[in-house]
């Protein structure tokens, strides 16, 4: 079975994109809502009639619209199709998507709502901070006013709230699953039951709402064991308990104390799997799954993979452990049964399937740990650094059910990202600390790109920390050593005393290279 693009029965099509012609800016760009944006210099200037302000839209790159673009190894032809894209979200993942879309030959303009100060200052997108992304009517109105032909939803929360449902219903091509399909991430119990029904390999488990029953099960199974909150918990809903007491404490925290709110009102207790974790990504159009390049992240906060889990402290791509043989195994045993199962359940999946996998130490076979229904963060940063295809057209193909005709082109170089986080993360951390020399750090090498995950501007125009994970310092190189060296050289230039980062990002890839060399 070929692993380039794999299909199951079923088809999902969404209407085509509207082109945004920079020479056809007209009076219909009127709105009753104010959309303030960063003042990015551009020859395109649209008078925003509602409040009389000048809305500055990022310059469309000079292109010959009559030229056909061969953006994915010649398999996806684009002829005079122009598209304006709206990216939903405001973190490092969304910055990376904006960066890749801004480089897409067929993309005329990129908006990001709400975005963040770093995204706006970078010129990778025009940020729309006042657009209420929780209000689908506002998003639809913006798309219609500005000729948006593709919406890319970054975070999971708007997907679970049904934003993609409403946009698709309005005829706006949207890359992201429906709220029903997003349950793959929104409920671990839903995911586990799907695995049971469609024979997808995963850890043995049981689901509980009663703490006493959960503790009794833990006693029967023994430690180590894993306790997971059923719902979304911002990366804090998984406890790998090495002792029974740690498991009991996690159960009490979620089910008795309600530390995670409704997300922890139901818990999944599952067997501890020993092996190596890896991230696997596939674009899905309802019937076809197209695997992306591999990546591997670092979840623990401290060097040597110690301390609590985080949203991710760094990543690299490709991951040497993901061989072509393993990729085919994952597609055949995990990804395709999921796509087929979701279609059979009446909620076809269109979007990005992000499978967190454990490659078991004993068998060498993959088991599904969890699904996310969007690009991973920080894995997205290294993937977008390496992607050479026209991302806008690839995502449109997914929306239209046409991934079967797509192949992807990747840089042969390796990419690594090191996350700079606020001191104290993933626990309590201070906001508003000043970060200097970001621009200077990005000039260390042409192979360096700094993605903003959580920055804002203070009154003096300085970048300040606005979240736990703040910057993703990313670099490409001919191998892991070179990519790491460039990223850490850039990190040395950033002046942020209240920030911290891991010093060993990519150690598994280095270990694998040494092992192969010997």
Distance CA 270, CA 203 (A): 6
CA distance linking residue 326 with residue 320, whole number of Å: 11
Identify the CATH homologous superfamily for domain 204-272.
ATP-grasp fold, A domain (3.30.1490.20)
Which pLDDT belongs to residue 518? 58
The pLDDT of residue 219 is 96
- Report yes or no: 111 and 89 within 8 Å, Cβ to Cβ: no
DSSP 3-state of 206: strand
Same fold across 83-179 and 204-272: no
Q: Is 83-179 a CATH 3.50.50.60 domain?
A: no
Question: What DSSP state is assigned to residue 503?
Answer: S
Domain ranges of the chain: 83-179, 204-272
* Residue pLDDT, tens place only, 245-272: 999 999 999 999 999 998 899 999 999 9
Distance CA 31, CA 442 (A): 37
The torsion defined by the Cα of 424, 425, 427 and 429, in degrees rounded to 10, comes to: 60
Per the CB < 8 A criterion, the answer to whether 286 and 14 are in contact is: no
Long-range contacts of 100-104 (CB under 8 A, 24+ apart): 100/384, 100/387, 100/391, 101/125, 101/152, 101/391, 101/392, 102/58, 103/391, 104/71, 104/390, 104/391, 104/392, 104/393
Distance from C-alpha of 111 to C-alpha of 84, rounded to nearest angstrom: 8
Q: Whole-prediction pTM value? A: 0.83
The model's pLDDT over 207-238, given as tens digits with 9 standing for 90+, comes to: 999 999 999 999 999 999 999 999 887 767 88
Cα–Cα distance for residue pair 105/82, rounded to 1 Å:
9
Look at residues 160, 190, 194, 192 and name the one whose alpha carbon lies nearest to residue 178: 160
pLDDT, tens digit, 9 for 90 and up, residues 370-429: 999 999 999 999 999 999 999 999 999 999 999 999 999 999 999 999 999 999 999 999
């Amino acid at each position: 079975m070929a692993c380039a693009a794999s299909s199951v029965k079923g088809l999902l099509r969404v209407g085509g994109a509207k082109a945004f012609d920079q020479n056809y800016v007209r009076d219909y760009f009127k709105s009753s809502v104010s959309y303030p944006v960063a003042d990015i210099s551009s020859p395109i200037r649209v008078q925003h009639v509602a409040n009389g302000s000048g809305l500055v839209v990022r310059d469309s790159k000079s292109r010959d619209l009559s030229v056909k673009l061969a953006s994915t190894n010649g398999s996806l032809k684009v002829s005079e199709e122009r598209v304006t894209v709206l990216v939903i979200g405001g973190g490092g993942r969304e910055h990376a998507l904006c960066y890749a879309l801004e480089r897409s030959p067929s993309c005329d303009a990129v908006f990001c709502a709400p975005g963040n100060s770093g995204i706006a200052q970078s010129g990778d997108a025009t940020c729309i901070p006042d657009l209420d992304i929780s209000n689908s009517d506002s998003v639809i109105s913006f798309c219609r006013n500005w000729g948006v032909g593709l919406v890319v939803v970054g975070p999971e929360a708007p997907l679970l709230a049904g934003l993609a449902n409403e946009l698709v219903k309005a005829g706006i091509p949207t890359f992201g699953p429906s709220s029903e399909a997003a349950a793959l991430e929104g409920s671990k119990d839903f995911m586990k039951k799907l695995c049971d029904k469609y024979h997808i390999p995963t850890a043995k488990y049981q689901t509980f709402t009663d703490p006493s029953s959960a503790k009794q099960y833990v006693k029967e199974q023994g430690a180590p064991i894993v306790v997971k909150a059923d719902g979304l918990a911002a990366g804090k809903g998984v406890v790998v308990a090495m002792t029974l007491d740690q498991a009991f404490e996690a159960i009490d925290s979620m089910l008795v104390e309600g530390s995670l709110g409704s997300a922890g009102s139901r818990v999944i207790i599952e067997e501890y799997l020993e092996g190596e974790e890896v991230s696997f990504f596939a674009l899905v159009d309802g019937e076809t799954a197209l695997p992306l390049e591999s990546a591997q992240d670092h979840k623990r906060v401290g060097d040597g993979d110690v301390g609590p889990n985080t949203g991710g402290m760094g990543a690299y791509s490709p991951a040497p452990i993901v061989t072509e043989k393993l990729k085919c195994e994952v597609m055949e045993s995990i990804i395709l049964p999921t796509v087929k199962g979701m279609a059979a359940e009446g909620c076809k999946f269109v979007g990005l399937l992000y499978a967190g996998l454990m490659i078991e130490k004993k068998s060498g076979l993959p088991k599904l740990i969890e699904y996310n229904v969007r690009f991973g963060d920080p894995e997205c940063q290294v993937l977008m650094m390496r992607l050479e295809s026209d991302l806008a057209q690839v995502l449109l193909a997914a929306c239209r059910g046409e991934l079967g005709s797509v192949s992807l082109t990747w840089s042969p170089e390796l990419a690594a990202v090191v996350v700079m986080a606020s001191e104290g993360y993933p626990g309590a951390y201070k906001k508003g600390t000043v970060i200097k020399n970001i621009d200077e750090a990005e000039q260390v090498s042409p192979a360096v790109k700094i993605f903003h995950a959580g920055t804002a501007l203070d009154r003096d125009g300085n970048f300040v920390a606005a979240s736990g994970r703040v910057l993703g310092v990313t670099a490409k190189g001919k191998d892991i050593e070179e990519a790491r060296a460039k990223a850490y050289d850039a990190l040395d230039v950033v002046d942020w005393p209240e920030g911290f980062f891991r010093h060993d990002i990519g150690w598994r890839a280095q270990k694998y290279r040494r092992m192969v060399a010997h």
